[in-house]
Amino acid sequence: MMWEAMLQISQLASIMIKVLAFILLNMMALLPIQAQFINLQLSIDAELTATVEQPLDFGTQLTNSGRVEIGLGDVNMGIFSIRAFRTQNVYIELSYPPALRPSSPEISAQIPLDLDIAYNNSGTNNVDNAQPLTSESGFIAISENTQAATNSDIWKQLYIYVYGAIEVGNIPNGIYTGDIVLTVDFD
């Protein structure tokens, strides 16, 4: 009997809780609801972009033509531009094989390759302002002047120049290639 009374009280309490929840939900539905909307648009630019402005090109060479040089400022030097925040720094590394190899597996001759790298962080593509790196790698500030005169110069250009020489000896005719990799890391 006592269990039956407790069971009835428990069922009655459960029904009352359901009724109260139903009444509260209906009352909330009758309240005017005001929503707020925010029109949010984000424009996110990449922190760094690199572009090949001009590839390094030694052109067609004749057998036994000797040392062929592309100097800093020559029309065939490689030019790369890096666009980044004016306050960023980049680590640049130039990797290249010691020699260009023939595309034909029957030819074992090679063309020795020696490259140099310079940079200009004044914001203009001008080799007169270029500074050579003493090795094939270095840590460089994107901009010489990190003081921004206006909001429009948040982004700056850094120019990288690749130049050097090949030694064309007594080699068979053919196409000689090599992978030259310019690695750019930023902080």
Tens digit of each residue's pLDDT (9 = 90 or more) over 20-72: 666 666 666 665 655 555 555 555 555 678 888 999 888 888 889 999 999 99
Q: Is residue 43 part of a domain?
A: no
pLDDT (0 to 100) of residue 155: 86
Q: Is residue 26 part of a domain?
A: no
Number of folded domains in the chain? 1
Averaged confidence pLDDT in the chain: 80
- pLDDT value for 50: 83
* 7 domain-assigned: no
Asked if residue 168 is part of any domain, the answer here is yes
Q: Is residue 25 part of a domain?
A: no
The answer as to whether 69 is a domain residue is: yes
Classify residue 28: in a domain, yes or no: no
Please give the average per-residue pLDDT across 66-95, as a whole number. 91
Asked whether residue 31 is assigned to any structural domain, the reply reads: no
Hey, how many other C-beta atoms are within 10 angstroms of the C-beta on 174?
14
Residue 116 has pLDDT above 70, yes or no: yes
**CATH number of the domain bearing residue 114:** 2.60.40
What is the signed CA dihedral for 145, 164, 177, 119, rounded to 10 degrees?
0
Higher pLDDT, 16 or 57: 57
> Domain span at residue 137?
48-186
Where do the H-state alpha helices sit in the chain?
2-30
